[in-house]
Structure 1
Amino acid sequence: MQTTTLSFENMHQHGELFANMLRARHEWFIRHNHWDLPQAMGMEYDQYDNPASRWVVVHDENGRVLAGNRLTPTTAKCGIYTYMIRDAQRGLLDTIPADLLYDEAPVAADVWESSRLFVSHHVPAAERRRVHAQLVMQLGTAARAVGATSCLTLLAANWPRWAKRVKVDMTAMGPVMEIEGVMNQVVSMNFESAMQ
Structure 2
Amino acid sequence: MQMTTLSFTNFHQHGPLFANMLKARHRTFVDGMNWDLPSADGMEFDQYDTAQSRWVCVHQGDRVLAGLRLTPTTARCGVYSYMVRDAQRGLLSSIPANLLDDPAPIAAHIWDANRLFVAEGVETDIRHQVQLSLMGHMVRSARALGASTLIGLLPIAIPRLGRRLGIDMEPAGPVMKIGGVAHRCFFVSMASKMH
Give the TM-score normalised by structure 1: 0.97
Distance in 2 of aligned mates of 1:15 and 1:54: 16
Count of paired positions: 195
Secondary structure at the counterpart of residue 164 of structure 2:
coil
Q: 1:103: which partner in 2?
A: 102
Q: 2:72: which partner in 1?
A: 73
Q: 1:11: which partner in 2?
A: 11
List structure 1 segments (4+ residues) > 4 angstroms apart after TM superposition.
none
Q: How many Å apart are 1:6 and its aligned residue?
A: 0.5
Q: Map of 1:21-170 to 2, 5 A cutoff?
A: 21-61=21-61, 63-170=62-169
Distance in 1 of aligned mates of 2:48 and 2:2: 24
Q: Which amino acid aligns with 2:9?
A: E
Q: Which amino acid aligns with 1:185?
A: R
Change (3 A) 1:144 1:160: closer
Distance in 2 of aligned mates of 1:167 and 1:133: 11
Q: How many Å apart are 1:179 and its aligned residue?
A: 1.6
- Supply the RMSD in Å over aligned alpha carbons: 0.9
Distance in 1 of aligned mates of 2:164 and 2:120: 20
Distance in 2 of aligned mates of 1:6 and 1:127: 22
Q: How many Å apart are 1:41 and its aligned residue?
A: 0.6
The superposition leaves residues 43-96 of structure 1 with CA deviations (integer Å, 9 ceiling, x where unpaired) of: 0000000000000000002x1000001000000000000000000000000000
Q: Which amino acid aligns with 2:108?
A: A
Give ranges in structure 1 of 5+ residues lacking alignment.
none
Distance in 2 of aligned mates of 1:27 and 1:7: 22
Q: 2:185: which partner in 1?
A: 186
Secondary structure at the counterpart of residue 107 of structure 1:
coil
Aligned residues with identical type, % of pairs: 54
Distance in 1 of aligned mates of 2:143 and 2:107: 14
Distance in 1 of aligned mates of 2:185 and 2:154: 6
Q: How many Å apart are 1:160 and its aligned residue?
A: 3.6
